[in-house]
Amino acid sequence: MKSIDQLTTIIHSGIDKINWKKEPRGLYDPIDYVLSLGGKRIRPLLTLMACNLFSDNIQPALNTALGIEIFHNFTLLHDDIMDRADVRRGQLTVHKKWNDNTAILSGDVMQIASYQFIAKTPEKYLKQTLDLFSQTAAEICEGQQYDVDFEKRENVTGDEYLEMIRLKTAVLLGCSLKTGAWIGGAGEEDAKNLYDFGINIGLAFQLKDDILDVYGDESTFGKKIGGDILCNKKTYLLIQAIELAKENDASELKNWLSTSDPTSAFSKINAVTSVYNRLGVKAICEDKMQFFYNKGIENLEKVSVSENKKQELRNLAEKLMLRQE
Amino acid sequence: MKSIDQLTTIIHSGIDKINWKKEPRGLYDPIDYVLSLGGKRIRPLLTLMACNLFSDNIQPALNTALGIEIFHNFTLLHDDIMDRADVRRGQLTVHKKWNDNTAILSGDVMQIASYQFIAKTPEKYLKQTLDLFSQTAAEICEGQQYDVDFEKRENVTGDEYLEMIRLKTAVLLGCSLKTGAWIGGAGEEDAKNLYDFGINIGLAFQLKDDILDVYGDESTFGKKIGGDILCNKKTYLLIQAIELAKENDASELKNWLSTSDPTSAFSKINAVTSVYNRLGVKAICEDKMQFFYNKGIENLEKVSVSENKKQELRNLAEKLMLRQE
């Protein structure tokens, strides 16, 4: 078994080896830029770890893992245009550094590149990997569309939100694990359990993100605290707060949700956070996160390999839950 | 052998059968809209015709053909955002009817859908079809990038232009034919000759488009005449004119190229067309078109099936050259 650190090194070296220094440079330079910004590389890591549960040779899963990471970065590139986000990982986003058209077109070719890597999946597993990958990719777009739709809706329920983040975030973790398991030679039940592990850890991961966006430490989180509050993002915290708030809290929340004056940003973040505190929605969100985390661990327990082989995946899941960034 | 009309009917019915009435509607409705606008369906037709040269059963090539047509329509959708085009086939473009974000995201899922159809290629030919399709898709993006780059350059050569339209337009015709030939059971040499036939016909097709944009009849062409002139598009006509123009013609052309006042649009189109006429660039462009058309027909002649089987492809190529729309 390879350690997380060893696998991460393999992934970084795999990404570094891809040649994006191609013509026309206006098309390929932004891809090189986006992939050089770093990131946790969780998805390809999950692919290799899942493969490694069933096979000592993780090499056959490397291209698939890279394809998934390229796809993930493509979604960030296009999402940043749609969200008008200026900064990603402390650097200018592509549409800010270049322009919208470049970001659209480089994103398009990045999506194609992700399929070129997926196509290098060992032929025995190609068709099923391709189908799961495409289904997952479409689900991610669906999740993004629901996210956009929810911005304009007042009455989003907690369950609708969870379904949205399942599509937008969790399915790609599930896909990463399942394809890795297949390539490692896993049986269908083990592959399914790893997929479900990915879904549940993914849901917990996103809920953690929502909490960090309000309660994180700016110096470690890497993003401005309160961004979700400022743009009235229908996170699990806000949905719970809207459901629970009565009288003064309800009217205060309602007032702040209709305020978009940038000069009152600081007051808005403080006031909404205070409402959250009074209603105890952080604990509700943490409970939900813990619930999915536990479900994920149960899925992992069912995978028919020895406990010590699964230890690294358990460590990774725990690290994602305890993270402050 | 099936006739062009029979194959076109099969394609239309295949497109109509795809279910885009899925949730979230904001994501899938624009795809339904784009595909319902029609179009000549030349690319899937070429796939089925190439398959039909080698096999009586074109059914195994249908999904691949549909994947290519979906991909082509995806490129139009994203190109229209980048070109700020308001109208396509007489109807509002997606980013005008909805908005930019919708056009970006629906385009993304359309690209994924095209891969889902390509993935239904018979397993024996899946890997090679997938690789050619991805390579072609990337080349189309490269062509689009060169097209954008050329807008800002003064010194584009005729050869650079031809390479740009090879990437942007011709390779997808080549890919359509080659994949169809493979699925029909063609040998590699026949498949290659059909690919080259597609490239050459594609180049001729685009040159015809450039000519129609200046010399076409608005009532049949379906687009405003002179659009390329108005936006200083570096077409083969303009590149030749810049190369050949001397003294008065050169300065007049230069002046008009620096004019973007919309109130002088009519004068600009008339004046630039007059320069074209004086320099005889229409005939130069037609000669080049004929040159590629002839090369294409030579490629087709080398394909090792009986002459009468190739008649429909020859008819189609001729129709594309003689078209007024």
* Residue at A137 is within a domain: yes
Q: Which of A42-46, B196-200, B321-325 has the lowest mean pLDDT?
A: B321-325
pLDDT digits (tens, 9 = 90+) for A15-39: 999 999 999 999 999 999 999 998 8
User: Which residues on B lie below 8 Å from A160 (Cβ)?
Assistant: none
Of A126, A137, A149, Cβ closest to residue B26: A149
- Give A145's contacts in chain B (Cβ within 8 Å): 24, 26-27, 105
Across chain A, mean pLDDT equals 95
User: What confidence tens digit (pLDDT) does each residue in B264-274 have?
Assistant: 999 999 999 99
Share of chain A above pLDDT 70, in %: 99
**Is it the case that residue B321 has pLDDT exceeding 70?**
yes
Which residues in chain A are closer than 8 Å to B105, comparing Cβ atoms? 78, 82, 141, 144-145, 148
Contacts 24+ apart (CB under 8 A), A249-256: A249/A275, A249/A278, A249/A279
A138 neighbourhood in chain B, CB within 8 Å: 109, 112-113, 116
Q: Is the pLDDT of residue A220 over 80?
A: no
Average pLDDT over residues A9-19: 97
Are B141 and A27 a contacting pair at CB < 8 A? yes
Percent of the residues in chain A that have a pLDDT greater than 90, as a whole number: 88
Averaged pLDDT for residues B244-273: 93
The label of the residue with tokens 């002459």 reads B307
Assess B137–A contact: CB distance below 8 Å, yes or no: yes
Percent of chain B whose pLDDT exceeds 70? 99
DSSP at B121: S
> Is A265 an 8 Å CB contact of chain B?
no
Could you give the dihedral angle defined by the CA atoms of residues A117, A122, A127 and A133, in that order, rounded to the nearest 10 degrees?
Answer: -40
What does the alpha-carbon distance between residue B158 and residue B168 come to, in Å, rounded to a whole number?
15
Tell whether A104 lies on the interface with B, counting CB pairs under 8 A.
Answer: yes
pLDDT in tens, A76-89: 999 999 988 898 88
Over residues B139-150, the mean pLDDT reads 96
Test A27 with B101 for CB contact under 8 angstroms: no
Q: Which residues of chain A are within 8 Å of residue B116 when distances are taken between CB atoms? A: 131, 134-135, 138
Report the domain count for chain B.
1
Taking each helix axis from N to C end, the angle separating A62-82 and A100-118, rounded to the nearest 10 degrees, works out to 160
Mean of pLDDT values over A140-148: 96
Average of per-residue pLDDT across B201-229 = 89
Distance CA B133, CA B175 (A): 7
Is residue B5 scored above 80 in pLDDT? yes
**pLDDT at residue B222 greater than cutoff 70:** no
Verify whether the Cβ–Cβ distance A144 to B105 is below 8 Å.
yes
DSSP calls for B23-54: SSHHHHHHHHHHHHT----HHHHHHHHHHHHH
Does residue A16 lie within any of the structural domains?
A: yes
Q: Inter-chain contact A145–B112, Cβ cutoff 8 Å?
A: no
- Residue B191 above 70 pLDDT? yes
Residue A324 lies in a domain: no
Among residues of chain B, what percentage have pLDDT more than 90?
88
The CATH number of residue B178's host domain is 1.10.600.10
Looking at the complex, report in whole angstroms how far the Cα of residue A253 sits from the nearest Cα belonging to chain B. Answer: 28
Q: A239-243, A263-267, B54-58, B249-253: which has the minimum mean pLDDT?
A: A263-267
Mean pLDDT of B235-245: 96
Cβ-defined contact of B109 to A27 (cutoff 8 Å): no
In DSSP terms, B91 is beta-bridged to B88
Q: Assess contact for A39 and B154: CB atoms under 8 A.
A: no
- Residue A243 in domain: yes
Tens digit of pLDDT for each residue in A117-132? 999 999 999 999 999 9
**What is the span of the domain harbouring residue A179?**
4-315
Which of the four pLDDT bands, split at 50, 70 and 90, describes residue B81?
very high
**Residue A24 and residue B105: Cβ atoms within 8 Å?**
no
Q: Predicted confidence band at A272 (pLDDT cuts at 50, 70, 90)?
A: very high
Statement: residue B220 has pLDDT above 80 = no
Mean pLDDT for the stretch of residues A147-175? 95
- Which residues of chain B are within 8 Å of residue A115 when distances are taken between CB atoms? 115, 130, 134
Say whether residue B125 is in contact with chain A using an 8 A CB cutoff. Answer: no
Q: Predicted ipTM?
A: 0.96
* Residue A321 placed within a domain: no
